[in-house]
Amino acid sequence: MEINLPHFVDLEASSLRSNSYPIEVAWNLADDSIESYLISPVGIEQWTDWSTESQGIHGIRRRELIEKGRDPAWICARMNQQLEGKVVYSDNPEWDGRWLEELFRVAGGDVMGFTIGSSEGLLFDQSFPDFAAWSRYEERVKQLKYEARVRAGGQHRASMDVRYLVELWKLVRDVRGGRGNR
């Protein structure tokens, strides 16, 4: 079991348009397990946006959401139960934060009990606090990201992207000489 493994979150969405909505969410727990859920759009009138281009990237069909997706209120309660009071890191906190806000909004106004942070800040600002250090290590960071992606086994599904962030954190921690625990 990892000691003080940070929590990461990732969401997939109906599109990248302004009226997009979350269709899948995943997060990791301190024991290195990952929870992932498709999000049901059933009964949410404003969730009509759909991009076949985005579907081609994440591979999730709207019909699959209708048939297998979980209720947004259940997902929000589950997230709050497991992540209450924590900082949860995203590789795209602006978009993921927006989709989480939308998820919690349609869930009946439940308040998000955790905050979103930047995984880039968590992983690299501490390791490379100034630009000179970053520029010297930029190639190494690219290698670490590639190795983490290989370990995660894919991308563009929420659980795979969370696994990628966990693996990247482990690799960066190892480069730091084990100082990655916080």
Q: Which domains does the chain have, with CATH numbers?
A: 7-175 (3.30.420.10)
In 3D space, the residue among 89, 87, 73 whose CA is nearest the CA of residue 26 turns out to be 89
* pLDDT lower than 70: segments of the chain: 1-3, 125-137, 155, 178-182
Is pTM beyond 0.75? Reply is: yes
Residue given tokens 């909004």 in the structure block: 105
CB contact burial 62-71 (16+ within 10 A = b; e otherwise): beebeeebee
pLDDT tens digits, 110-149:
799 999 999 988 887 655 555 556 566 677 778 888 888 8
What are phi and psi for residue 51, nearest 5 degrees? -115, 120
Residue given tokens 């106004």 in the structure block: 109
CA 81 to chain centre: 17
